[in-house]
Structure formats: structure tokens, C-alpha cells
Amino acid sequence: MAESNYTESSIKSLSPREHIRLRPGMYIGKLGNGASADDGIYVLLKEIIDNSIDEHSSGHGKRIDVTIGDEIVAVRDFGRGIPLGKVVDCVSKINTGAKYDSETFQKSVGLNGVGTKAVNALSSYFLTESYRDSKMKQAIFAQGELQSESRQCKTDEKDGTYVEFTPDKAIFKSFDYRLEYVETMLWNYAYLNTGLTLSLNGKTFRSENGLKDLLENNLTGDILYPIIHLKGEDIEVAMTHGTHYGEEYFSFVNGQHTTMGGTHQAAFREAIVKTIREFFKKDYDASDVRTSIVSAISLRVQEPVFESQTKTRLGSQNMGPKSPTIRNFVNTFIKKELDLHLHQFPETAKAIQEKIVASEKERKELSGIRKLAREKAKKVNLHNKKLRDCRAHLNTKHKQADDSTLFIVEGDSAGGSITKTRDVNTQAVFSLKGKPLNAFGLSKKIVYQNDEFNCLQSALDIEDGLDTLRYNKVVIATDADVDGMHIRLLLLTFFLQFFPDLVRQGHLYILQTPLFRVRTKKKTEYCYTEAQKNRSVEKLGKGVEITRFKGLGEASPEEFATFIGPKIKLDPVTMKQLHNIDELLSFYMGKNTPERQGFIIENLHVEKDLIENAS
């Protein structure tokens, strides 16, 4: 190993702005291109809106307007406005703000004076204007550096703050805001701040019933009893049970959507089980109590501690200085209010107990075949080599890493090519044998009885939930033809039927592979659409050779390096609503109906295009 020259000159000091730009992931998580809801461009927007929400929570401002254009993102609130003499400092100097003063912002989501400064530093253009007492001040920045600053002057604008910014393409490269993700963000703000009106490009978001509205607006399937809605000081809860597999939680702290949960969510899950056991005076298994639950909890905490700057998991143990623990606070509230509700509504209590008994019966019926299925899965994996694991997971089972991926491919041909090209440290490959079974309408017993499903479940290690999921991204990589689309649908049916949480929590993706290779002797381009192919042909000129990829097995290992390397194109599988699964699968994967026949006939041009493009 070459010896490095470690001297005083090796030590460097960075300004906060330089550090943010050098290590953006520490402040906004992953960069991404906007395809995932947790990509950094959405964190930038959230950081600005959070300041406006904190104003509303303090009793100032009842409206927040968001505008997303081709280049510029803008947020206007009607709070008190930043004190004019501190406008520049508040948006550019780390650890500067009013939130260190607990009297000003008692239960704010942003306490460290970092968020807006990170947005500023990571934007090629950043403008802020503050309107206060009929006066205004403006400041413009580029990559966190002040470009211009106005004097205080008169204005007719109502009090508040206006911010507009453009994410720096030197940091984010190619990106697009998906409005569906922004709409979900704004709806969550609306549910947690009843009486607040938000708008996105003119579309309005408002809630009067808080978390009850959240569940009602996302549930389209059957629920077993009316939503239980409980509210107290610094806590709000809504819950019901459905007929699906898995558990679904929406958890929030001080208005922040804690997508990774934390101490409050853990306390909530524990409190539900404890209260229901005591109510029925039976020691039910926790999994039987919580299976099929759909719930939301919102907590207000003094000086919350999150496990990262992106605030996706709460780490706080206490409600605040000299306050009870979060665990005790949540347990006490649920014990009192849920117990009271079950006594007041015996029909709801009966429905919950019947659900628990049914889950218990299914769990016991499965227990016998689970052991045999596990042993069989090990043998099948060993001898047929269905799973080509990545080095981080070989011979071990541990929690998935953020960069770990499992590709699900059809057949050994595609599996062989992708295996030779993949990053062996983080990318694993699972090869299917033939078309999977249509799992729609089947019970979970089939997961253990079907070799393909059993092996796939074992490879992912999701038999008992996502806590043991071994890969952060599960990627369906099938051919771009009719058979490949069919296999994709069958896999989606399997996951939605038995493991919907994998989809809800953003782990399932579709690999986009090129339809065409356009090349000359000097240059090769891969095209994902007919329009891209036509542009490439026109650009490359004479002597162009066009190849239509009919299957992944036709691509060489070298070409696969393009498809699954740094420029990988992944489409996330998302669900706008929680319980339209039965309706969705019934339409596409159930018995043929006139409605589906009409849908197929109406969309026959898609099949026609595929055939024409292949010829």
C-alpha cells in the first residue's frame, strides 16, 4: 500500500455552505431525479414549507401557496414574515433562527437552523422576500452566495414570506418534480393542520377532521368497523382494520411525516396490543392484534430529536424537558381513550375480536407448513441457484442497506447476463422459472406451497414483515414484450396480494430497459421510446443500424452495465390509495368481465405498436 503524506496541509476547513455542497446527503438524504418520494428535491421543498407550517402552528397565517414551474419552485406564506433586518442571516447563516427560543416556537419541526440554508446552498438560484408591517426586503443568492440585497421599502403585500428557488443541476443533474408526490406532501400538511389551506398550482388542499380525513380519503376497500378517531393534548390517533395482509402506519411528529417511524410509532404499536389484551382479558399474539391495521398517529413534542437531518425517524425518548417519556404518554392516552371507545361501541369491539380470532386461526393453520416450506426453500436455493446474492448478504441475514438491490429476472439467460455485470457488493439476482402463478384471490398458504413464491419470500426474508427485508430496492426486470408484461403483472399481483407494505413503503420498482439500440461504427445509443429512436437515427445520420430488443437475454453483459449501472432507470411502483388493491387486482387479474374487455379493446393500439416496433 502506498504511503500517504499526512501533514498539516492535509487538514482542511470548510465553510458551512461548502460542506453542504460537498456532502448534500447529510442534509437532504439521497439526491435522486424525482422518481422517488424521498428524493432530495422534495426535501428542499419540504424544508421551506416547514417554516411556513411552524408559523401557522404558532397562530400566524392560514394559507400557504406552492407553485412548481419548469425551473422555479415558489412558496408563499402569510405568517409574520422574517424580521427584515435578519432576512439574509436567516436564509444563509447556519445555526441562525428564532427556533432556539422555546417561547417563540414551542413545538417546531425545525430546530437546528439548517434546513433553509441547505436549500439555499443547493440551489443555483434562491430568492427570498419578507413582508412585515407594510415593508419588505429582498435577497437573491446563487449556490448560497449572496448576489444582491435590497433596502427595506414600502409594500402593499400582506405580511408573510416568499421564497423561490431552482435546484442546482450541478448537484441534482437531471430531475423532475412529480406532482403526485408533492400533492401527498401537501395533503399530509392539511390533515395535521386543520383549518390551514394549502394550494399547488391552484389546486386546494384542506382538512377539517385531521387524521380521520387522512384514512377516509385513502380507503376505498372494505373496513371492518368505522374509523376510531381519538384526540388529546399533543396527540391525535385514527385507526381501523381492513382485510389485507400487513400493517400500515402514518406517523407524524410536529407535522413532520416520519416515514421510518421511531419511538412514537413503536409506543403506539405496543399500546394498541396492550389495551386490546386488557380489554378482552386475553393474551392475544401481537401479530394477530395488529395484522390488517391501518392507522395514523400525530404527536407534538418539545425539542424533538430526529435520527437524521431529513427527520424521517424520531429518536426522542421524552415529550420534552421534565416531561413523561413518549412511551408512557402514548400508552396512557391509548389505554384510556381506546378502552373507553370500545366500551361505548361494542360493535367495533366485536369486529376487532373477530378479526383477531380469524388471524390467529390462519396463523396456526400455516405454522405446520411454514417449517417444511423453509427447509424446502433452502434446498431449492442451494441446488437450483435461484438466488445469486450480493456479498453483503452472503451467508447472513441482516437488515437491508440503503444501496442494496434485488433484481427479479425471467429465466437463466437474462439472469446470467445481469449476474456477470452487476455490482456484486450491492446487487443480487433472483431468477424465475417460467411464469409465476396468478395469486389473485388465493390465501397465503399458496406462498408456502408454490416453489417460486416460497423461494422469493425466503430470498427477501419478508415472511414476518418488512423489519427483516434484506434489500432496499426490489426490482422487477422482465422483457419489454407481451410475455414480459404478463410476468410483471403476475409479480405485482403477488406482492400486492400478500406483501402490500413492500409497495406502500416504496421498495418495489420496475427496471426500464431500452427498446432499441441505434449505432454506427463510432457511436451507440440506447433508446427507451420510439421518439428517442427517431431522434437518434436523425442525429447519427447515415449507416445507422437499429436493433429492437425483444428480451433481456439478447443484451450482452457489457450492455447490461449500461442498463443497471449509475444511469439505471427505475420506475417506482406507487399506490395513491391504500385499499383499492382488491378492486385493482379484480379488474386486471380476476375473471374476464365486459369492463375489462372494453379496456383491452380501447387500448389495442399499445399491442399494435409493440408488434410494429418489433418488426
Three-class SS string for 335-362?
A: HHHHHHHHHHCHHHHHHHHHHHHHHHHH
Residue 395 confidence (pLDDT): 43
Helix axes 581-589, 482-498, angle to 10 degrees: 150
**DSSP label at residue 86:** G
How wide is the angle at C-alpha 325 spanned by C-alphas 322 and 328, nearest 5°?
130
Q: 331 pLDDT exceeds 90?
A: yes
Lowest mean pLDDT among 97-106, 357-366, 390-399: 97-106
Lowest mean pLDDT among 10-24, 78-92, 230-244: 10-24
Cα–Cα nearest to 389, from 359, 345, 424, 437: 424
Cα separation of 37 and 418, whole Å? 27
* Highest-pLDDT range among 361-370, 393-402, 551-560, 599-608: 361-370
Cα separation of 81 and 58, whole Å? 13
Cα–Cα nearest to 452, from 465, 466, 438: 438
Cα–Cα nearest to 295, from 352, 353, 248, 232: 248
Q: How many CA atoms lie within 13 A of 58 on its CB side?
A: 22
Q: Are strands 473-477 and 508-511 parallel, antiparallel or unpaired?
A: parallel
484-525 residue pLDDT tens: 888 998 999 999 889 988 988 889 999 988 888 999 988 999
Q: 76 pLDDT exceeds 90?
A: yes
Residue 608 confidence (pLDDT): 42
The string over 420-451, giving b where at least 16 C-beta atoms fall within 10 Å of a residue's C-beta and e elsewhere, is ebbeeebbbbbbbeeebbbbbebebebbbbbb
| Mean pLDDT across 348-374 | 89
Residue 335 confidence (pLDDT): 97
Residue 398 confidence (pLDDT): 45
Q: What is the DSSP string of 236-297?
A: EEEEEE-SSSS-EEEEEETTEE-TT-BHHHHHHHHHHHHHHHHHHTS---HHHHHTTEEEEE
Contact 250, 503 (CB under 8 A): no
CA 249 to chain centre: 13
The string over 409-418, giving b where at least 16 C-beta atoms fall within 10 Å of a residue's C-beta and e elsewhere, is bbbbebbbbb
Cα separation of 315 and 298, whole Å? 15
Residue 145: CB partners within 8 Å, gap ≥ 6?
17
For cell 400493517, the residue is: 247
Q: 383 pLDDT exceeds 60?
A: no
Residue 393 confidence (pLDDT): 58
End-to-end Cα, the chain, rounded Å: 55
Q: Where are the domains of the chain?
A: 17-204, 211-360, 385-513+549-614
Cα separation of 406 and 387, whole Å? 9
Architecture of domain 17-204: 2-Layer Sandwich (3.30)
Q: 607 pLDDT exceeds 50?
A: no
Q: How many CB atoms lie within 10 A of CB 612?
A: 10
Rg over alpha carbons for the chain, rounded to the nearest Å, is 27
CA 363 to chain centre: 29
Residue type, 411: G
Residue 309 confidence (pLDDT): 60
Lowest mean pLDDT among 94-98, 101-105, 361-365, 559-563: 101-105
Residue 250 confidence (pLDDT): 92
Residue 615 confidence (pLDDT): 36
Q: How many CB atoms lie within 10 A of CB 480?
A: 21
Residue type, 2: A
390-406 residue pLDDT tens: 886 554 444 555 678 99
Task: Band the pLDDT of 14: cuts 50, 70, 90.
Answer: confident
Residue 596 confidence (pLDDT): 64
Task: Band the pLDDT of 102: cuts 50, 70, 90.
Answer: very low
Cα separation of 430 and 476, whole Å? 10
Q: How many CA atoms lie within 13 A of 279 on its CB side?
A: 25
Q: 99 pLDDT exceeds 70?
A: no
* CATH T-level topology, domain 385-513+549-614: Rossmann fold (3.40.50)
431-484 residue pLDDT tens: 988 889 988 888 888 888 888 898 898 889 888 888 889 999 999 998 877 788
* CATH T-level topology, domain 211-360: Ribosomal Protein S5; domain 2 (3.30.230)
194-251 residue pLDDT tens: 999 999 999 999 999 999 999 998 876 689 999 999 999 999 999 999 988 888 899 9
Task: Band the pLDDT of 148: cuts 50, 70, 90.
Answer: very high
Partnered with residue 123 across adjacent β-strands are 167
Q: How many CB atoms lie within 10 A of CB 280?
A: 15
564-606 residue pLDDT tens: 887 788 888 877 655 566 666 766 677 666 776 666 666 554 4
Residue 145 or 587, more confident: 145
Q: Per the structure block, which three cell numbers stand in for 90?
A: 436567516
Q: 322 pLDDT exceeds 60?
A: yes
**DSSP label at residue 325:** B
Q: 277 pLDDT exceeds 80?
A: yes
Task: Band the pLDDT of 276: cuts 50, 70, 90.
Answer: very high
Q: 610 pLDDT exceeds 50?
A: no
Report the mean per-residue pLDDT for the chain.
Answer: 85
CA distances, 551 to each of 305, 414, 515 (Å): 49, 8, 9
Secondary structure of the chain: what % helix, strand, coil (to 5)? 40, 20, 40
Residue 3 confidence (pLDDT): 57
Cα–Cα nearest to 115, from 141, 95, 132: 95
Cα separation of 412 and 294, whole Å? 40
Q: 142 pLDDT exceeds 60?
A: yes
Q: Say what the pTM is.
A: 0.77
| Mean pLDDT across 377-390 | 67
Residue 164 or 256, more confident: 164
Task: Please report which helix (H) or strand (E) contains residue 298, including its range.
Answer: strand 293-299
Share of the chain above pLDDT 70, in %: 85
Residue type, 5: N
3-state secondary structure 462-516: CCCCHHHCCCCEEEEECCCCHHHHHHHHHHHHHHHHHCHHHHHCCCEEEECCCCE
Q: 613 pLDDT exceeds 50?
A: no
CA torsion sign for 392, 397, 403, 409 is positive
| Mean pLDDT across 75-84 | 95
| Mean pLDDT across 351-356 | 97
